[in-house]
Chain A
Amino acid sequence: QSVLTQPPSVSAAPGEKVTISCSGSSSNIGKYSISWYQQFPGTAPKLLIYDNDNRPSGVPDRFSASKSGSSATLGIAGLQTGDEADYYCAAWDGRLSVGSFGGGTVLTVL
């Protein structure tokens, strides 16, 4: 059971925007930076967002993120079929002294 909670799945049509939530607590998201990862089947995760709302070079600005209190949100605008993947949030938990990933969210672009 992860300390970070994500919805199991989200879906939207091409061109639309979708948001994926990540809920934690004051000992993880509330205190530490959150990262977001995209993973396609059979491949390693790819960093989408670091330090709450920063995009690495090469990540399209269709991907955005925010954090408020103990929750965070990943937004993907202008959805493309190529965005269909699993998305994970991740953060350090200072109370448990462990890293943690959310359970993952499957994005379906209808």
Chain B
Amino acid sequence: EVQLLESGGGLVQPGGSLRLSCVASGLTVRDNAMSWVRQAPGKGLEWVSVITTRGDTFYADSVKGRSSISRDNSKNTLFLQLDNLRAEDTATYYCGKDVTGIAGGDIWGQGTMVIVSS
């Protein structure tokens, strides 16, 4: 079964950091464009970041300079490092395969919740 499993969310104070993980099974992370998408409570989906098969990385303006997407091919895992967290970063974070690509995001994780609050 093809599956993505996120972890690493939690409660963090403003200005803090978190590293989200997304472990893939049944698909190879390095062979796919992998994205992070977030959804604030009661709000719509917001694209956050993508790492391409070539390793190129792109970020939404809302997180640029405060986040870093990466992957560990040996662990078949995608990461999102979030630094200098703000209240507006509070959201459920999903990892997904090729969510804005030609093949569409047919594989998504279940999401991990990040709450930024003092």
Contacts and interface: CB of A to CB of B under 8 A. Distances in A.
Interface in B58-82: 58-61
Most chain B beta-carbon neighbours within 10 Å: one of A32, A51, A88, A90: A90
Contacts, number: 74
A50 B99 CA distance: 9
A51 B47 contact: no
Contacts of B96: 44-45
Determine the main DSSP class of B at the interface with A: loop
Determine the main DSSP class of A at the interface with B: strand
A71 to B, nearest CB: 17
Given A35-B100, A35-B104, 5 more contacts: A35-B105, A45-B96, A92-B101, A98-B59, A99-B35
Interface of A: 2, 32-33, 35, 37, 39, 44-47, 49-51, 56, 86, 88, 90-92, 97-104
25 contacts: A32-B100, A33-B104, A35-B99, A35-B100, A39-B45, A44-B96, A45-B45, A45-B96, A45-B105, A45-B108, A46-B108, A47-B104, A47-B106, A50-B102, A56-B104, A56-B106, A86-B44, A90-B47, A98-B60, A99-B35, A99-B58, A100-B47, A101-B37, A103-B44, A104-B45
